[in-house]
Structure 1
Amino acid sequence: MVIINNYEEYKLLEGVIVGSSSWHVIDQDQINRFADATLDHQWIHVDQQRAENEGPYKSTIAHGYLTLSLIPYLWKQIAEVRSVNLEINYGIENFRFGVPVKVNSEVSLQATIRSVNDLRGMVKVVVGAKLVIKNELKPAYTGDVVFLYRFK
């Protein structure tokens, strides 16, 4: 895990692949709970029998937005940003979904610090994010996430 205490330490990581999270299993229970939370009960996500019989992947798949919503959790396994009194998920940019995440797949976030800028006290960090799936050649997605920090 990378520990970051201030803007200067973050800036030194610009252009660096900072690491990968541990593997996280996306099971049917998590998919169902996400469907309930977002009111998105499309059969490809929640109807296991129909997905196995009629679906192109022969199993249910995770919602794309479920996989995106894991970024803060997985990012905190890669980097610990200390001495902040404000941390905001500011945006996502240039995201592309590669392959779907089938139920019970294991995923891991790989992160690269793309840019670090001081905006008059707020630090804007763009992190390149790639969600890899165990035993898959292509990633689930690639893109950039933007965080804002105010260091103490």
Structure 2
Amino acid sequence: MQAFDGPEALKAALGQEIGVGEWITVDQAMIDRFADATGDHQWIHVDPERAARESPYRTTVAHGYLTLSLVPRFIAGVRRLDGLRLSLNYGLDRVRFPAPVLVGARLRGRVTLAAALDVPPSGLRATYRVTVEVEGQERPACLADAVVLHHW
């Protein structure tokens, strides 16, 4: 975990990989909880028997937005912002889902600081490029540029 003691320290990491997070397992319980939270109960996500019969993957797959929802967790897992008063999600600049996440897959985030813009008087708008890797798979599950406003 990298520690940054203010906006100047974070800006010094511009263009650099900040870190690679710990692996987390996407199990059926996580998928089911996400389906309940979002109302997206499509069978390919929540019906293991039907997915085994009818899905091209022969198992359930995580929602793309479930994978995307893990991006803040992956960012938080690789950097610490000392003295920070507040962070706010600002949005996403680019999101792609190149590969599915099969139930039981292990994911981790590879995080790079792609952009940093001063926001007076005490803030920084940071864009974190996150590649969500799937253990044992060449293609990532998700590529996302997450934009966060940090205020010190």
TM-score, normalisation: structure 2: 0.97
Shift of 1:19: 1.0
Alignment length, in residue pairs? Answer: 151
Aligned counterpart, 2:139: 138
1:53-105 C-alpha deviation (Å, 9 max, x unpaired):
10011110000111111111121110011211110111111111100100000
CA distance in 1, matches of 2:117, 2:93: 16
CA distance in 2, matches of 1:127, 1:66: 18
Aligned-partner SS, 2:22: coil
Aligned counterpart, 2:129: 128
Any unmatched runs of 5+ in structure 1? none
Q: Which moves more between the two structures, 70-79 or 15-24? A: 70-79
% of aligned pairs identical?
36
Write the letter of the residue equivalent to 1:3: A
Contact residue 96 and residue 142 of structure 2 kept, 8 A: yes
Aligned counterpart, 2:91: 91
Aligned-partner SS, 1:94: strand
Contact residue 75 and residue 128 of structure 2 kept, 8 A: no
CA distance in 2, matches of 1:99, 1:38: 21
Aligned counterpart, 2:6: 6
Shift of 1:112: 0.6
- Detail structure 1 runs of 4+ shifted over 4 Å in the superposition: none
Shift of 1:143: 2.3
1:21-60 → structure 2 map (5 Å cutoff): 21-60=21-60
Write the letter of the residue equivalent to 1:63: H
Write the letter of the residue equivalent to 2:70: L
Shift of 1:26: 0.3
Aligned counterpart, 1:101: 101
CA RMSD of aligned residues (A): 0.8
TM-score, normalisation: structure 1: 0.97
CA distance in 1, matches of 2:127, 2:99: 23
Shift of 1:120: 1.1
CA distance in 1, matches of 2:12, 2:117: 11
